[in-house]
Amino acid sequence: MSDSHLLLAQALTHELRLPERVVGMEFLGKGFSTDRKYVLSSERGPEYLLRVSDLAEEPRRRQDCEMLARLSGAGVACPRPLHFGTRPEQGLCFMVVTYLPGEGADEALPALTPVQQHEIGLQAGVELAKIHRALSPPAPVDDYAVWSGKHARNRSRVQELGITFHGQDQAERYVAAHLHLLRDRPTVLRHGDYHPGNLVVQGGAFVGVVDFNRCDWGDPVDEFYKLAFFGAPVSEEYARGQLLGYFGGPPPGEFWPIYNLYVAMALSGDIAWTERNWPQYLPRSLELIEVIARTHDFEDGRPPEWWRGGPSR
């Protein structure tokens, strides 16, 4: 955390006319974002979240702020934006949103009962469906074109790095045989990073969704491949619950082949992203990829083991 970011955070707490007087500030270092986040507290406890970004991010962060306003107005359980501004002389922009009290579901779920884990998953699925329905897309997205190019780039990068992973050939064959499934997919507003680490839980109950800074438009099934990477490894009950909550019951049969397609493409995508941003985590990434490859069906596209093996189906 640089001095300029800290000084800006301190100055803003005095300059902004927030509903509650700020008496405390805590740096929030969790997550992979390069933004700097601070929890601002009143005498009653945590009230606001201040997010500071590089000025180059200003157009996207302003768009995020406007999107949060529309989502919260549509009844989505998410932070409500209060302020957005820039500090060109410091090369920074910022937003202040309401703070959702609690802890990340990734930390909370393991300590809860299977029933609680499943219930949080159900509520997370209902909330995700609400996000997908909240706004009308400005234009259809050609998911086939987007992912054809994206996967080709990720696969080439993995080859350049000389990295191989468990189930690589099978996953690539599955992608080649099923990429056509992304033609003419529906377009919805996506959270972009929907997993337990971006869900807030308090007292064993679901509170809401945070970190919409990767939201975009596209195929709704794209949201679910992170169940393989972040949901099921934390709690299979949660993962099953999220799908049941989203669909109001078991997913339709056509869901699973497309889900497996996104998971198969995400294997090389995860390696490319990790090497580019957090190379020290590559060994851990490859271990997780091996588990995913062993538990997913990259031949016939059937449900993964974490779905088939659970009593909550």
Q: Choose among 196, 195, 189, 178: nearest CA to 103.
A: 196
Residue 165 CA to residue 112 CA, distance in Å, equals: 33
Average pLDDT over residues 237-242: 98
Q: Give me the chain's average pLDDT, please.
A: 93
Q: What is the pLDDT of residue 205?
A: 96
Q: What is the pLDDT of residue 1?
A: 43
Q: Choose among 116, 268, 128: nearest CA to 204.
A: 116
Q: Which residues of 187-216 are buried (b: 16+ CB within 10 A; e: fewer)?
A: bbbbbbbbbbbbbbbeeeebbbbbbbbebe
What domains are there in the chain, each with its CATH number?
3-98 (3.30.200.20), 103-308 (3.90.1200.10)
Render pLDDT for 194-215 as a digit per residue (tens, 0 to 9). 999 999 999 999 999 999 989 9
Output phi, psi for 150, to 5 deg. Answer: -65, -45
Q: What is the pLDDT of residue 240?
A: 98
Output phi, psi for 61, to 5 deg. Answer: -70, -35
Residue 188 has pLDDT above 90, yes or no: yes
Residue 112 has pLDDT above 70, yes or no: yes
Report pTM.
0.90
Residue 312 has pLDDT above 50, yes or no: no
Residue 263 CA to residue 295 CA, distance in Å, equals: 11
Render pLDDT for 25-73 as a digit per residue (tens, 0 to 9). 888 876 666 788 899 998 888 899 999 999 999 999 999 999 999 999 9
Q: What is the pLDDT of residue 5?
A: 65
**Residue 142 burial (CB < 10 Å; 0-12/13-18/19+)?**
middle
